[in-house]
Amino acid sequence: MTGDVSAVRWAAAPTTKGRMMRIARRYTKEGQSPYADIAFRLTESEIRNPDGSVVFRAEGVEVPAFWSQVAADVLAQKYFRKAGVPARLKKVEEETVPSWLWRSSADEAALGALPEKERSTGEHSSKQVFERLAGTWTYWGWKGGYFDSEADARAFFDELVYMLAMQKAAPNSPTAMPFCLASPSGISASEAAYCASRLGFLLGNRRTRTP
């Protein structure tokens, strides 16, 4: 990830797995949405052939109000999950994970009550992407024992969401693409395992650098 990472501090923890992170908030406030001071707008995105025919079109794309049209287009065309997101979700309870960080899976009972064509959808808001990425990184950081406390994990999530929304930080595509599969919006076991291995690799590389 590139951008401002000054909020991350490393502390030795010899009796625990690896080293743990203490996160100081720089942009967000505890108990407040990371979007509290960010205005959003709706726009549309499309790709046309030289003959004028439409190749791709998305309406009602929600992005931060200050984002350029180019930024909105890149998000909608490259990073949105365009299909396969269950229209009804339920939380996957885990005793060792804070409830706000629980993954989601398809609610088969609720989906069964919908017409077949309405059972899956795609993403339409940048908030879904921000929370999908930040949520995945925070979830696997928690599972790997990297956070000093639950408050640090929450600060990590909120700060990442804010920095992504404000374009203060962004993963490069090879890093972001795997996490485009893993999300609170219906993550499968195989996707979870892959994301776990990717995050372990990324955090392992981070520990080899000078704090």
Which carries the bigger pLDDT value, residue 130 or residue 17? Answer: 130
From residue 155, give the alpha-carbon distance in Å to each of 92, 95, 96, 150, 159: 22, 21, 18, 9, 6
Residue 189 belongs to what domain range?
2-31+83-207
- The stretch 104-116 carries a mean pLDDT of 90
pLDDT score of 14 more than 80: no
What integer is the mean pLDDT of 133-159?
92
Is position 38 within any domain?
no
In a domain, 54, yes or no: no
pTM as predicted: 0.74
Distance, CA of 54 to CA of 43 (rounded, Å)? 17
**What percent of the chain is modeled with pLDDT above 70?**
73
Q: Report residue 44's pLDDT band, with 50, 70 and 90 as the boundaries.
A: very high
Confidence class of residue 174 from pLDDT cuts 50, 70 and 90? Answer: low
What's the structural domain count of the chain? Answer: 1
- Report pLDDT for 87: 85
Identify the CA nearest to 105 among candidates 94, 126, 91, 116. Answer: 91
Closest Cα to residue 26, out of 203, 172, 160?
Answer: 160
Tokens of 61: 């794309």
pLDDT, one tens digit per residue, over 49-73 is 888 888 888 899 999 999 999 999 9
* Nearest partner of 152 among 3, 1, 19, 35, judged by Cα: 19
Any idea what the Cα angle at residue 73 is, between residues 68 and 74, rounded to 5°? 100
What pLDDT does 33 receive? 96
Query: Does residue 101 carry a pLDDT above 80?
Result: yes
144 in a domain, yes or no?
yes
Assess contact for 164 and 130: CB atoms under 8 A: yes
Asked whether residue 138 carries a pLDDT value surpassing 50, the answer given is yes
Q: Is 124 inside a domain boundary?
A: yes
Share of the chain above pLDDT 90, in %: 40
